[in-house]
Structure formats: structure tokens, C-alpha cells
């Protein structure tokens, strides 16, 4: 396991980069799939990384708690080297209820992760709908628990989501996320 800290390629206010990715639900999803929501949380994540696993419950809670938020997990890892991150394994995690996001997508060719500048799992990007387009308002840690065995006491993304839904500016400082490196193909 290689520990990495996020290094965003996107700037505040940038539009959510487009993608069309297959979901474990059998549908193809893009940012516009969630156009009925006020906020979009795109999290580059996976099944096998302990840092990502430690955030499953928190992300599931976010997805269940806010009707105007879409939580979208994107798994870009090389499934040949990491079979626990295969599309079939992703489907099993959803069927078992371990992952209950609005969508869990596969970035097989890793282009979407590269476009977003994702480097670790989890690597969250939070967008606010602004005149029909999702614009980046926060990229960084989900909360203050930096290691899998720590309990969070501050919830940065949740606070930012609540600001969006209240119509307020997101004041959250961008603090680098931390997790396993994305498993890039050679």
C-alpha cells in the first residue's frame, strides 16, 4: 500500500469534468444523470483500500441523509492487479449493502481519474449546481479521521453539503485527502 495525499487538478468554480461510466446498477452515468440534485459528490474510491473502506459508512450516510445530494463512487483501480476492485466485486459490495451510494461506477481506462486529478482512495470532489452546471466548491478530506482506525469528530464534506443546501458559500478550507494510491495500469 502506497499512502498518497490528494493533489487537485481542478480549481474552485471549475465545471465537473464530463464522464460516461458504467454503474453496477447496469446503467451508464454522467454528471447530468444527477441534474435533479443541488450537489454532486464524486469520490474516487475502491473496495480493497482500508482508507476507502473506513469511509463507506460515512458516504452511505451522506447518500441516505440528503435528497438533494448525489454521492457517486468511481473505482479507477487496475482490476487485473487488484481483483478485489473488479466490476463483479463492486457489484457484490453494493448487493451486500456495504456500499449504498447513489451510483458506484467503474473507470476502467482510468481517464476520468486522470481528468479529475485523483491520486488516492478516497479522493472526494464536491460540486454545487450553479445555473444548471455542477461547479467545484470543495476537494479534499471527507472528515478529520486521517487513519482507518480513527473516529471522526469534524465532517468537512457534510458541513460543505449543508452550506450548499442552505444556499450559503462553502467556506471549508481545502485539506488534502489521504489514502491508498490509485492503482494505475502500466
Q: What residue has cell string 449504498?
A: 100
The pLDDT value given to residue 5? 66
The pLDDT value given to residue 153? 96
Strand 3-5 versus strand 21-22 pairing type: unpaired
* b/e 94-120 (16+ beta carbons within 10 angstroms → b): beeeebbbbbbbbbbebebbbebbbbb
The partner residues of 106 in beta bridges, in order of sequence, read: 75
Locate the DSSP E strands across the chain. 3-5, 21-22, 28-29, 39-44, 69-75, 103-106, 120-121, 123-130, 133-139, 178-181
The pLDDT value given to residue 186? 79
The pLDDT value given to residue 1? 57
The pLDDT value given to residue 6? 65
Q: Rounded to two decimals, what is the model's pTM?
A: 0.95
User: Consecutive 10-residue runs of the chain (186 residues): their mean pLDDT?
Assistant: 69 96 98 97 97 97 97 97 96 97 97 95 97 95 94 96 96 91 91
The pLDDT value given to residue 3? 66
Q: In this structure, are residues 113 and 21 in contact, taking their beta carbons and an 8 Å threshold? A: no
The CATH code of the domain at 3-181 is 3.40.30.10
Amino acid at each position: 500500500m502506497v499512502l498518497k495525499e490528494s493533489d487537485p487538478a481542478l480549481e474552485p468554480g471549475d465545471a465537473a469534468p464530463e464522464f460516461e461510466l458504467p454503474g453496477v446498477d447496469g446503467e451508464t452515468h454522467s454528471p447530468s444523470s444527477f441534474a435533479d440534485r443541488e450537489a454532486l459528490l464524486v469520490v474516487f474510491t475502491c473496495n480493497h483500500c482500508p482508507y476507502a473502506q473506513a469511509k463507506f459508512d460515512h458516504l452511505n450516510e451522506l447518500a441516505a441523509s440528503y435528497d438533494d445530494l448525489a454521492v457517486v463512487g468511481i473505482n479507477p483501480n487496475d482490476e487485473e492487479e487488484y481483483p478485489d476492485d473488479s466490476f463483479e466485486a463492486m457489484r457484490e459490495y453494493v448487493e451486500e449493502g456495504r456500499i449504498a451510494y447513489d451510483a458506484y461506477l467503474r473507470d476502467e481506462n482510468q481517464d476520468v481519474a486522470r481528468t479529475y486529478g485523483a491520486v488516492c482512495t478516497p479522493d472526494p470532489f464536491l460540486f454545487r449546481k450553479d445555473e444548471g452546471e455542477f461547479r467545484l466548491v470543495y476537494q479534499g478530506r471527507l472528515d478529520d479521521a486521517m487513519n482507518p482506525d480513527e473516529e471522526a469528530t469534524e465532517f468537512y464534506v457534510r458541513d460543505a453539503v449543508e452550506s450548499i443546501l442552505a444556499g450559503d458559500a462553502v467556506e471549508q478550507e481545502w485539506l488534502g485527502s489521504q489514502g491508498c494510491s490509485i492503482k494505475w495500469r502500466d
